[in-house]
Every structure is written in structure tokens, then in C-alpha cells.
């Protein structure tokens, strides 16, 4: 892979390369994917107003909020996606923030693992479809 990557916004790794990445590694990347989606969603929906923007983003990326959004998409996941989700949920996390229960934190890690996996496969359309379902309730409120 060294030297072969040209466009980090349009990444496509093969299954073997992705399999070599730990669940925590996928979650690390998926956390950034989710954060970018949330920030984009907030800006696109006119919620980009000063201090409120940061606060709104923080509320949406906290583990309990991510866990709730993960629950919304579980019925939509393919077998392969569910396997990635479960692999992320079973990852050995060592620290859990005080603002989250262990269960919520593991679900959030699972969601982030799934998003990282989809991102590395180049499945932007699938990410967008799942994110739209995750944000439906907020969409109705705007």
C-alpha cells in the first residue's frame, strides 16, 4: 500500500487490507467519518451558528447518541455489515468515558467500526443511506 495511495478522500482498500486493520483502528477512522458527517449535516441544515455549532456537534457524537443511532440502522444491515458491527462491539476497549455506559460505548464503537469499514471499501453511497436513517428524527425537527 505504501506509495500507492493518491486520493485519501476516495479510498478503496481490498478486503484483505481492511481485515488486517483492528476493530479499534476501524473505529478510530469511523469516528472521524461520523464527525465529518455530523458537522456537514449541521452546516447543511443551517445549524452552523457560533458556539451552538460546537455544542450541537458534541451532543450528536457522544456515545449515547451514537448508540441510539446505531439501533436505528441495525435492521438495515447486511450479514457482512452486521459481522463488522459485532466485531467492533466486541473490541477490547480499555477506557470508557464517564458520560457513557459500557453498553452505549460498545455500540458507539461498533457503529464507528462499521463506518470506518464502509469508508475504506469506498462505499460512500451506503454510508450516506445509513446516515440519513440515523438522522431522520433530527431532520423532522428542522
Residue 31 among the catalytic residues: yes
CA dihedral 85, 86, 92, 98 (to 10 degrees): 70
124 CB-near residues (< 8 Å, 6+ apart): none
Question: 35, exposed or middle or buried, with CB in 10 Å at 0-12, 13-18, 19+?
Answer: middle
Catalytic residue, candidates 15, 31, 104, 140 = 31
For the annotated catalytic residues, the residue numbers are 31
Amino acid at each position: 500500500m505504501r506509495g500507492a495511495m493518491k486520493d485519501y478522500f476516495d479510498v478503496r482498500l481490498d478486503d484483505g487490507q481492511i481485515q488486517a486493520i483492528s476493530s479499534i483502528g476501524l473505529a478510530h477512522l469511523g469516528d472521524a467519518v461520523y464527525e465529518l458527517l455530523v458537522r456537514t449535516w449541521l452546516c447543511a441544515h443551517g445549524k452552523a451558528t457560533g458556539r451552538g455549532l460546537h455544542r450541537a456537534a458534541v451532543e450528536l457524537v457522544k456515545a449515547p447518541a451514537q448508540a441510539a443511532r446505531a439501533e436505528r440502522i441495525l435492521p438495515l444491515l447486511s450479514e457482512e455489515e452486521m459481522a463488522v458491527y459485532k466485531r467492533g462491539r466486541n473490541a477490547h476497549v480499555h477506557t470508557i468515558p464517564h458520560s457513557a455506559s459500557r453498553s452505549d460505548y460498545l455500540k458507539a464503537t461498533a457503529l464507528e467500526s462499521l463506518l470506518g469499514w464502509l469508508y475504506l471499501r469506498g462505499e460512500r453511497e451506503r454510508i450516506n443511506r445509513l446516515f440519513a436513517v440515523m438522522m431522520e428524527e433530527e431532520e423532522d425537527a428542522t
